[in-house]
Structure 1
Amino acid sequence: MNLSIFFEPLPEDPFGYPENPKSVGSYLAPFVHSFPDWRSAEVVLIGLPEYRGSTNTTDVTYQGPNRIRQELYRLMKGTGAWLLMDLGNLLPGIHLEDTYLRLKEVIETLVDAGKFPILLGGSHDLTYGQFLGYEHLGKTVNLVMVDSQLDMVDDERATPEQSHLHRILLHEPTYLFGFSNLGHQTYLTESSTLAALEKLHFELFRVGQVRQQMQEMEPVIRQADLMSFDVSAIRHQDAPGQQYANPFGLTGEEACQLCWYAGQNNQLSSLGFYGYRPEFDHRSLTATTLATMVWYSIEGYYQRLPSLDFQSNQFLKFSVGFHDNPNKMAFYKNRHTEKWWMEIEDLSGQRPPFVVPCSYQDYLTAADGEVPHRWILMQARF
Structure 2
Amino acid sequence: MNLELYLKPVDFSGFELPKWAQKKYALSTLLEKNRDKIPVDKAKIVLIGVEEDRNAISYGSAVSPNKIREHLYALNRIAPRFKILDLGNLIVGQNPSDTYFALKDVCEYFLETGITVVILGGSQDLTFGISKAFEDRFFNLVTVDPKLDFQKGAKTIDSENYLNFVFKKHPNLFSHVILGYQNYFADALELNHATDLNSDTRRLGQVRYNMSEIEPYMRGADIFSFDLNSVRQIEAPGQYFASPNGFYAEEACQIAHYAGMADLLKIAGFFNLIPALDNDELSSKLMAQIVWHFIEGYYFRVVEDPENKPQEFSEFIIEMDDIDLPLTFYQSRKTGRWWMKVYNQNNDTDHVFPCSQEDYDLASRYEIPDRWWRNIRKLNQLAK
- Structure-1-length-normalised TM-score: 0.92
CA contact (8 A) 2:306 2:330 kept: no
Count of residue correspondences = 375
Other-structure match for 2:66 = 66
Other-structure match for 1:215 = 212
1:124 match: secondary structure: coil
One-letter amino acid of the structure 2 residue matched with residue 5 of structure 1: L
One-letter amino acid of the structure 1 residue matched with residue 295 of structure 2: I
Question: Is residue 343 from structure 1 mapped to residue 341 from structure 2 by the alignment?
Answer: yes
Other-structure match for 2:27 = 24
Other-structure match for 2:269 = 272
Q: Deviations over 1:122-172 (max 9, x none)?
A: 01100000100111xx32111110011111113557651122100111115
Greater Cα shift, 157-166 or 99-108: 157-166
1:35 deviates by 12
1:324 deviates by 9.7
Other-structure match for 1:109 = 109
1:191 deviates by 2.1
One-letter amino acid of the structure 2 residue matched with residue 238 of structure 1: E
- Work out the CA distance in 1 between the residues paired with 2:332 and 2:106: 35
- Work out the CA distance in 1 between the residues paired with 2:364 and 2:162: 40
One-letter amino acid of the structure 2 residue matched with residue 140 of structure 1: F
Other-structure match for 2:97 = 97
One-letter amino acid of the structure 2 residue matched with residue 14 of structure 1: G
2:143 match: secondary structure: strand
Question: Is residue 41 from structure 1 mapped to residue 43 from structure 2 by the alignment?
Answer: yes
CA contact (8 A) 1:79 1:299 kept: no
Identity %: 34
CA contact (8 A) 2:34 2:83 kept: no
1:259 alignment partner, one of 256, 260, 274: 256
Other-structure match for 1:127 = 127
One-letter amino acid of the structure 1 residue matched with residue 165 of structure 2: R
1:103 deviates by 0.3
- Work out the CA distance in 1 between the residues paired with 2:325 and 2:81: 43
Q: Check 1:30–1:189 CA distance in 2 against 1; reply closer, same or farther (3 A cut).
A: farther
Greater Cα shift, 238-247 or 271-280: 238-247
RMSD: 2.3
1:313 deviates by 3.1
1:312 deviates by 3.5
1:85 deviates by 0.6
Q: Deviations over 1:228-267 (max 9, x none)?
A: 0111111112211111211110111111111111111111
Greater Cα shift, 153-162 or 204-213: 153-162
Structure 2: give runs of 5+ residues left out of the alignment. Answer: 380-384
Other-structure match for 1:354 = 351
2:313 alignment partner, one of 300, 310, 315: 315
- Work out the CA distance in 2 between the residues paired with 1:89 and 1:227: 19
- Structure-2-length-normalised TM-score: 0.92
Greater Cα shift, 189-198 or 92-101: 189-198
Q: Check 1:286–1:320 CA distance in 2 against 1; reply closer, same or farther (3 A cut).
A: same
Greater Cα shift, 78-87 or 292-301: 78-87
CA contact (8 A) 2:56 2:159 kept: yes
- Work out the CA distance in 2 between the residues paired with 1:30 and 1:289: 25
Greater Cα shift, 73-82 or 258-267: 73-82
Q: Check 1:156–1:35 CA distance in 2 against 1; reply closer, same or farther (3 A cut).
A: farther
- Work out the CA distance in 2 between the residues paired with 1:300 and 1:322: 37
1:250 match: secondary structure: coil
Other-structure match for 2:237 = 240
2:279 match: secondary structure: coil
One-letter amino acid of the structure 1 residue matched with residue 151 of structure 2: V
2:10 match: secondary structure: coil
Question: Is residue 87 from structure 1 mapped to residue 90 from structure 2 by the alignment?
Answer: no
One-letter amino acid of the structure 2 residue matched with residue 109 of structure 1: Y
1:56 deviates by 3.8
Q: Deviations over 1:6-28 (max 9, x none)?
A: 12233444314785211111211
Instruction: Map 1:118-157 to 2 at 5 A.
Output: 118-135=118-135, 138-156=136-154
- Work out the CA distance in 2 between the residues paired with 1:306 and 1:269: 13
Q: Check 1:315–1:157 CA distance in 2 against 1; reply closer, same or farther (3 A cut).
A: closer
Q: Deviations over 1:184-218 (max 9, x none)?
A: 11111222111111123320011111111211111
Greater Cα shift, 70-79 or 115-124: 70-79
CA contact (8 A) 1:317 1:331 kept: yes
Q: Check 1:326–1:129 CA distance in 2 against 1; reply closer, same or farther (3 A cut).
A: closer
1:318 match: secondary structure: strand
- Work out the CA distance in 2 between the residues paired with 1:12 and 1:201: 44
- Work out the CA distance in 2 between the residues paired with 1:335 and 1:213: 23
Q: Deviations over 1:274-332 (max 9, x none)?
A: 11101111311111111111111111111122442445332111111124999711111
Structure 1: give runs of 5+ residues left out of the alignment. Answer: none
- Work out the CA distance in 2 between the residues paired with 1:171 and 1:235: 32
